[in-house]
């Protein structure tokens, strides 16, 4: 259950920063492999594709996590918001983060924040009970 208090989108964010700052020669559009499709087309898989796909899969898990209610969910939303703010600041201020790969990761993080709050508000509305006054 420790996963509830950890923003999973921190993983692709960390992977991006590790690769960009520790191995600056690696390009995001460098082909990893080529898949020969039945249609005759060659699908070239790049590092960017893999990282974005990982982030989208983790976003799905984050959305499922946001349907739970409780203190840990609120903390999870706050951590997701802090991660988005950190990504936004890095995107705006750090030269190596000014790429379309990082921008897409940041948008995925924004979607996580928005969906988390929307789901929380919608589920909390269903839990509110209004009791009518009874005539005396």
What is the average pLDDT value for the chain, to the nearest integer? 85
Please compute the mean of the pLDDT values over residues 85-106 and round it to a whole number.
93
pLDDT at 7: 86
Task: List the one residue out of 29, 115, 122 whose CA is nearest residue 76.
Answer: 115
pLDDT at 121: 74
Residue range 65-94, pLDDT digits in tens: 877 777 777 788 889 999 999 999 999 999
Q: What is the 3-state secondary structure (H, E, C) of 54-86?
A: HHHHHHHHHHHHCCCCCHHHHHHHHHHHHHHHH
Question: Does the predicted TM-score (pTM) go above 0.85?
Answer: no
Distance, in Å, from the CA atom of 128 to the CA atom of 121, rounded to the nearest integer, reads 11
Q: Give the distance, in angstroms, between the CA of residue 85 and the centroid of all CA atoms in the same chain.
A: 12
Residue range 17-38, pLDDT digits in tens: 998 888 877 778 888 899 999 9
Residues 6+ positions from 79 with CB-CB distance below 8 Å: 5, 6, 7
């Amino acid at each position: 259950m420790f996963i509830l208090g950890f923003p999973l989108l921190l993983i692709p964010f960390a992977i991006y920063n590790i690769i960009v700052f520790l191995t600056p020669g690696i390009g995001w559009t460098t082909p990893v492999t080529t898949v020969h499709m039945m249609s005759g087309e060659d699908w070239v898989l790049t590092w960017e594709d893999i990282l974005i796909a990982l982030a989208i899969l983790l976003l799905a898990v984050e959305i499922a996590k946001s349907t739970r209610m409780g203190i840990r969910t609120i903390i999870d939303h706050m951590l997701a918001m802090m991660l988005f703010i950190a990504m936004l600041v890095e995107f705006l201020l750090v030269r190596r983060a000014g790429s379309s790969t990082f921008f897409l990761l940041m948008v995925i993080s924004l979607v996580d924040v928005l969906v988390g709050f929307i789901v929380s508000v919608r589920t909390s509305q269903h839990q509110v009970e209004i009791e009518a006054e009874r005539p005396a």
